[in-house]
Structure 1
Amino acid sequence: MKCHRVNELVELLHPAWQQEPDLNLVQFLQKLAQEAGYQGNLNGLTDDILIYHLKMRGSDKTDAIPGLVKDYEEDFKTAILRARGIIKE
């Protein structure tokens, strides 16, 4: 894991964990894993799962995943034309 990933995870984890002060870190990670739908062992839980779950936690189920919003186009035709380089930024 790169240093910026650690920083991002800590920045997201800190305020969320403060809302659950009665849980220790492992218990809180287990809770996040369950919320995210992760069913494996905790040692297989990736930073990506935690980061995206913490970013999306509390948002509407229909909200776009952070990082994909920048690529979102209202209609399919515009998306194809932009992907082929016909429409420039």
Structure 2
Amino acid sequence: MKCHRVNELIELIHPAWQKDPDLNLIQFLQKLADEAGFTGPLAELTDDVLIYHLKMRDSKSTEAIPGLKKDYEEDFKTALLRARGILKD
């Protein structure tokens, strides 16, 4: 895991864990894994799952996933023209 990912994970997990101070770290990670729908062993839980789940945890189910939102276009025609390089930013 790269250093910036460790920092990002700590920044995201700290405020979330403060809401459940009675849980130890492993219990809290298991809770996050369960919420995210991860069914494998906790040792196989990736940082990606934790980061994206923590980012989306308190958002509406209709909100765009971070990272994909920057590429979002309201209509298909604009998206197609931009992808073909006809439209520029």
Q: TM-score range by the shorter chain?
A: over 0.9
**Structure 1 unaligned blocks of 5 or more:** none
Residue type at the aligned position of 1:58:
D
Task: Provide the secondary structure at the position in 1 that maps to 2:61.
Answer: coil
Deviation at 1:26, TM superposition (A): 0.1
TM-score in terms of structure 1 length: 0.99
What do you get for the CA RMSD once the two structures are aligned? 0.4
C-alpha distance in structure 1 between counterparts of 2:48 and 2:5, whole Å? 9
What whole-Å deviation, never above 9, does each CA across 1:22-80 have from its counterpart, x for those lacking one? 00000000000000000000010000000000000011111100111100000000001
Residue aligning to 1:34: 34
TM-score in terms of structure 2 length: 0.99
Q: Which runs of 4+ in 1 moved over 3 A?
A: none
Deviation at 1:2, TM superposition (A): 0.5
2:1 maps to 1:7 = no
How many pairs align? Answer: 89
**Structure 2 unaligned blocks of 5 or more:** none
Q: Work out the percentage of aligned pairs sharing the same amino acid.
A: 78
